[in-house]
Amino acid sequence: MFSARTLTTAVLGLVGLVQSAMAVGPMPAPMPTRETITIGYVKVGHVSPLHLVEEELKKMNIDVKRAEFVRYADARTALLSNSVDVSAVGPADLAIAASQGSRNIIGLTGVATSPKYLVVRKGVTINNWNDLKGKRVAVAPGSAVWFAWAMTLVENNIPYNTFQAINVQGGGTAFVQALKRGDVDAILSWEPFESGVVAEGAAYFATNLVDYSKSRAVGSELGLLAASGEAYNKRREVIRRFLWAYLSAEEKMAKDSNLFINTYSAYTGLPLEVTRESHKLIKLGGILDREQVARLAEASFKQGVIQTDVTKVASELFDDSIAREIRGRR
């Protein structure tokens, strides 16, 4: 019989082999000629590995141009028009693009997950669904967080008109300002704005309500790295090297909290006390797959978010084969 120590050693060895098989492989060889890649980015913590890709890409003979966007929707438009080669967008953007008749976008990999809770202004009580009645909730209509919330309500048989939806335009700062002014009772937002306003003591997470990242239709994926169809088809080796640089940075940050906190701060310009709290909620490493993309597209159509059923087309626009190769997965 095996001793407990022998069995433990064997198990740990097996775990090590599995982790090694899933680790990012060695850096690809440099491109034979100097190339340039244009990267679209949104300053949110779950794609902060983008901050570290430039130096690695230089080693592979690739220069970087950057284009900043406030919203995923703007980044999606830039991809569709070939204004950028790659960008972070929302998980539902493949379905939205397909519903607009475009296939010029290819999803490469998800980026991260986190729990999602309604952020409630201090002094306002929302501990259960009944408490939500009549409350003013700031939403970004059509956004990833809004859709995750809306589908959670559907799956829990909670009427959308239980609360008063207040449409807010712009970035997360606008939501925080509306909450602090008392214009709304709660916000559906994203990191780091959620943790920031909670850390300040102006709000709290309504953890007694359901974690709305658990919606089957939407899932807990926070974002998506995508390439324009043109870049993906004509400059595949450049895209491969970009993805290696991103996944390599992601892997290092996932293992090193201090690196994550500091990179997050440098990428977004936020103080360390904010990113130190916010990073605790974010688990780097995407979980998005074709099945989830299809569920998102199907739910978007059934709920009237998009007017065409593009379930099959949207799932076909997700191709994580390069990411899987880089991670040593089949």
pLDDT of residue 164: 95
Sign, CA torsion 131/136/140/141: positive
Q: Match domain 28-113+220-326 to its CATH number in 2.40.70.10, 3.40.50.720, 3.40.190.10, 2.40.340.10.
A: 3.40.190.10
User: In whole angstroms, what is the distance from residue 220 CA to residue 257 CA?
Assistant: 21
User: In whole angstroms, what is the distance from residue 15 CA to residue 37 CA?
Assistant: 37
Closest listed residue to residue 320, CA positions, set 300, 291, 298:
291
Percent of the chain, pLDDT > 90? Answer: 73
User: In whole angstroms, what is the distance from residue 97 CA to residue 145 CA?
Assistant: 18
pLDDT digits (tens, 9 = 90+) for 197-238: 998 899 999 999 889 998 888 889 999 999 999 999 999 999
pLDDT digits (tens, 9 = 90+) for 148-190: 898 899 888 999 999 999 999 877 889 999 999 999 999 999 8
pLDDT digits (tens, 9 = 90+) for 149-159: 988 998 889 99
Percent of the chain, pLDDT > 70? Answer: 93
Closest listed residue to residue 225, CA positions, set 48, 55, 64, 59:
48
pLDDT of residue 88: 96
Q: How far is CA 125 from CA 146, 173, 204, 208, 212, in A?
A: 21, 23, 10, 11, 18
pLDDT digits (tens, 9 = 90+) for 52-109: 999 999 999 999 999 999 888 899 999 999 999 999 999 989 999 999 999 999 999 9
pLDDT of residue 196: 86
Of residues 321 and 2, the one with the higher pLDDT is 321
What does the domain layout of the chain look like in residue ranges?
Answer: 28-113+220-326, 119-214
What pTM value is reported for the model? Answer: 0.84
Class of the CATH domain delimited by 119-214: alpha beta
The chain-wide mean pLDDT, for the chain, equals: 90
